[in-house]
Amino acid sequence: MHKLGYFYLSEGRSLTANIADYINKGRYSNNPDKSIAPPIETINNVLSLTLPVTLTPEMWHVDLAHNFVCAISTRNIWVYDNGVLVSDKPFTTFSSAMQAIGYSPTRVAGRQTIDTGKAVGGQYTFYSFPRLGRPLGVKYL
């Protein structure tokens, strides 16, 4: 997922987080909070997505990552505080998003959890798209 570039798509990042969750805690028989392995259909759907950068055999991963970032001209980061949209306009950098919620602008937690549904500091979630039907100040479950 990471080496081929699917990790950089929101669907790929979410799938990677689900796989990691399953590997880390879902497979143990003594874990009462088991997670379920993602279905093969979900994996195949992500792997069938078209990447914005063409991977070539001689391309290094760092080149793929750099080209992918350059291919995406606008970055939108939507931040939610316990389900409430923090700003009616998206942040354009992770630094500005982290500062808006009172964290160090150099902290990478937002970047690592975007589109995964995982909360930063137990309350903030980051998305690359607005949660449709969730206007500013309206909570969702």
The residue extents of the domains of the chain are 6-71, 78-127
Specify the pTM. Answer: 0.53
Rounded CA gap, 79 and 92, in Å? Answer: 11
Rounded CA gap, 82 and 122, in Å? Answer: 8
Across the chain, mean pLDDT equals 82
pLDDT digits (tens, 9 = 90+) for 3-54: 777 887 888 888 998 888 888 876 666 767 777 788 999 999 999 998 878 8
Mean pLDDT of all residues in 50-68: 83
Q: Which residue has the higher pLDDT, 99 or 31?
A: 99
Strand partners, 91: 77
Q: Which residue has the higher pLDDT, 102 or 4?
A: 102
Check if the beta carbon of residue 137 is closer than 8 Å to that of residue 125: no
The pLDDT score that the predictor gives to residue 136 is 44
Enter the DSSP assignment of 22: I
Q: Three-class SS of residue 125? A: strand
| Helices 10-21 & 40-47 angle (0-180, nearest 10) | 150
* Percent of all residues in the chain with a pLDDT value above 90, rounded to a whole number: 27
Rounded CA gap, 98 and 50, in Å? Answer: 30
